[in-house]
Amino acid sequence: MLKALQLEPEKCTGCLQCEMACSYENEGVFNPAKSRIKVFNFHDEGRFAPYTCTQCDEAWCLYACPVEAIAINAGTGAKEVLGDTCVGCKVCTIACPFGTVNYNSSTGKVIKCDLCGGDPWCAKACPTGAITYVDADGTGMERMRAWARQGMPPAGASVNAPAEKEIPNYESA
């Protein structure tokens, strides 16, 4: 079964470990500005929202590409940018209605989440379990629950402590 990134904003503390892990895996440097996942800070409301491509079925970016530079990875289902083919025309950046394809002016090409080939570093680096890599069906369920929760008053303060986990291995990717 395909797996997907499950994002649970209510567990996010805004630490940006995901952005660093992402940029290191993809760019070889710690650089949140080039991260494919982004944490948004709703300061006045006191909440955070990690956000990235969910490899949507519609694949607006893929079809909008005029040079076939975005392709589906059969193993992961990720829509991947083929760096050698991308000409940097940016049509995909306006076509993606979720705003998750960005132009990288230093390379002249676009960047988006590719699920790190099936071992996403953001999920490994997230200390609180706000980003997990799970069976794709689960993410739909979680969204339904989020939908149900929407509009309900908070029961109390939300406290996000580090989640138990083994030390992840980053070398396999």
Partner 1 sequence: MHHVVIGAGPAGVVAAEHLRKYDPDSSVTIVGGEEEPPYSRMAIPYYLVKRIPEGGTHLRKSSGYYDRMGIDVKHGRVTGVDTNANAVSLDGGGSVNYDKLLIATGASPVAPPIPGTDLDGVRNCWDLPDAREIIKYCEPGKRIVLIGAGFIGCIILEALVASGAQVHVVEMENRMVPRMMNETAGGLIGQWCGDKGIEVHTGTRVESIDEKNGALSVSLGDGGRLDADLAITATGVAPNIGFARDSGIDVDEGLLVNEYLQTRSENVYAAGDCAQGRDFSTGEYSVQAIQPTAVEHGRIAARNMARGHEHYHWGNVNMNVLDTMGLISSSFGLWMGADGGDSAELLDKNEYRYLNLQFKDDVLVGASSLGLTEHVGVVRGLIQSKTRLKNWKDKLRKDPTRLMEAYLANTQAVGHNAHVL
Partner 2 sequence: MAWTKKVMRVNLTDGTIGEEPLNMEWARQYLGQRGLASKYLFEEIDPECDALGADNKLIYTTGPLTGTMASTGGRYSVVTKSPLTGTIACSNSGGFLGPEMKFAGWDMIIFEGKSPKPVYLYVRDGHAELVDASEIWGKSVWAADRILHTRHQDPQLRIACVGRSAEAGCLYSAIINDLHRAAGRSGVGTVMASKNLKALAVRGTRGLGGIKDPMRFIRATEEGKKVLREHAVTGQGLPTYGTQVLMNVINESGALPTRNMREVQFEGARNISGEAMHEPRKSDNRPNLTTNAACFACTIACGRIATIDQNHFAIENKPEYWRNSGGLEYEAAWAMGTDTGIDDLDAATYANFVCNEDGMDPITFGATVAAAMELYEEGVITTRETGGVEYKFGSAKALVHAVEAVAGGTGFGKDLGLGSKRLCEKYGRPELSMTVKSQEFPAYDPRGIQGMGLAYATSNRGACHLRGYTVASEILGIPEKTDPLVSKDKAGLVKAFQDATAVFDSSGLCLFTSFAWTLDNVAPQIDSACEGDWSAEKLVEVGERIWNLEREFNRLAGITGKGDTLPPRLLKEAAQTGPAKDKVAELDDMLPEYYELRGWSTDGNVSDETKQRLGL
| Chain contacts with partner 2 (rule: CB under 8 A) | 13-17, 20-21, 23-24, 27-34, 43-48, 106, 125, 127-128, 153-154, 156-164, 167-168, 170-171
Residue 29 · residue 104 · CB < 8 Å: no
Fill in the amino acid letter for 120.
Answer: P
Q: How far is the CB of 111 from partner 2 (least distance, A)?
A: 12
Please pick, from the candidates 147, 156, 159, 166, the single residue that binds partner 1 as defined by CB under 8 A: 147
Fill in the amino acid letter for 2.
Answer: L
Q: What is the DSSP string of 33-86?
A: GG-SSEEEEEGGGTEEEEE-----TT-HHHHH-TTS-EEE-TTT--EEE-TTT-
What 3-state class would DSSP assign to 124? helix
Q: How far is the CB of 136 from partner 2 (least distance, A)?
A: 27
- Binding of residue 2 to partner 1 (CB under 8 A): no
| Token duo for residue 39 | 């944490």
Which residues inside 37-96 make contact with partner 1, applying CB under 8 A?
38, 40, 42, 45, 49, 51, 54, 56-58, 60, 63-64, 66-68, 85, 87-96
* Of residues 42 and 98, the one with the C-beta less far from partner 2: 42
Q: How far is the CB of 80 from partner 2 (least distance, A)?
A: 21
| Token duo for residue 135 | 């069976």
Residue 40 · residue 9 · CB < 8 Å: no
Q: Which does 131 bind (CB under 5 to 8 A by kind): partner 2, partner 1, none?
A: none
Which residues inside 105-134 make contact with partner 1, applying CB under 8 A?
105, 108
